[in-house]
Amino acid sequence: MTEKYILAIDQGTTGTTVALVNSRGGLYATSYKEITQFYPNPGWVEHDPQEIIESVFFCIREVMKVAEVSLNSIISIGITNQRETTLIWDRKTGTPIHKAIVWQCRRTSEICQKLIGTYEAETITKATGLSIDPYFSATKIKWILDSVPGAYTKAKDGDLAFGTIDTWIIWNMTRGKSHVTDVTNASRTMLFDLETLGWSKQILDIFDIPIELLPEICDSDGQFGLCETDIFREFNLPISGVLGDQHASMFGQACFSVGSTKCTYGTGAFLLMNTGKDIKISDRGLLSTLAWKVKGEVEYALEGSVFSAGATVQWLRDELELIESSAEVEVLAHSVQGNGGIYLVPAFTGLGAPHWDMNARGTIVGMTRGTNKGHIARAALEAISYQCEEVLKIMQQDSDCEISELKVDGGATGNELLMQMQADISNLRVNRSSVQETTVLGAAFVAGIGSGFWNSKSEISLIWDSQRVYTPLMTNEERSQKLTFWAKAVERSKEWIS
CATH number for position 42 = 3.30.420.40
Write the CA distances from 497 to 19, 76, 77, 490, integer angstroms.
45, 51, 47, 13
Residue 466 lies in a domain: no
Amino acid 3: pLDDT: 86
pLDDT at 228: 83
The dihedral formed by the CA atoms of 127, 244, 416 and 389, expressed in degrees to the nearest 10: 0
341: in domain: no
> What pLDDT does residue 496 have?
67
Secondary element (H or E) of residue 311: helix 310-318
Rounded CA-CA distance 6/1 in Å is: 16
Asked if residue 173 lies in contact with residue 229, where contact means CB atoms within 8 angstroms, the answer is yes
Beta bridge partners of 343: 365
> Does 116 map to a domain?
yes
3-state secondary structure (DSSP) of residue 367: coil
pLDDT at 143: 96
Question: Please, are residues 176 and 106 in contact by the beta-carbon 8 Å criterion?
Answer: no
Length of the chain: 498
Name 217's bridge partners. Answer: 181
User: What pLDDT, on a 0 to 100 scale, did the predictor assign at position 405?
Assistant: 92
Measured distance CA(491)–CA(393) in Å, rounded: 18
Residue 149 domain-assigned (yes or no): yes
Q: Cα angle vertex 274, ends 269, 28, to 5°?
A: 65
H/E element holding 270?
Answer: strand 269-276
Residue 70 lies in a domain: yes
pLDDT at 464: 85
Separation between Cα atoms, residue 86 and residue 163, nearest integer Å? 6
Say what the pTM is: 0.86
Asked if 252 contacts 442 with a C-beta cutoff of 8 angstroms, the reply is yes
- Which pLDDT belongs to residue 1? 58
Q: Is 458 exposed, middle or buried (0-12, 13-18, 19+ CB in 10 A)?
A: exposed
Q: Is residue 306 part of a domain?
A: no
| Cα–Cα distance measured from residue 91 to residue 452, given in angstroms and rounded to the nearest whole number | 32
Decide if 234 is inside a domain.
yes
- 194 close to 187: Cβ distance less than 8 angstroms: yes
In a domain, 380, yes or no: no
Extract the residue ranges of the chain whose pLDDT is less than 50: none
Task: Find the domain containing 102 and state its range.
Answer: 5-244
Q: How many domains does the chain have?
A: 1
Question: What's the DSSP call for residue 93?
Answer: T
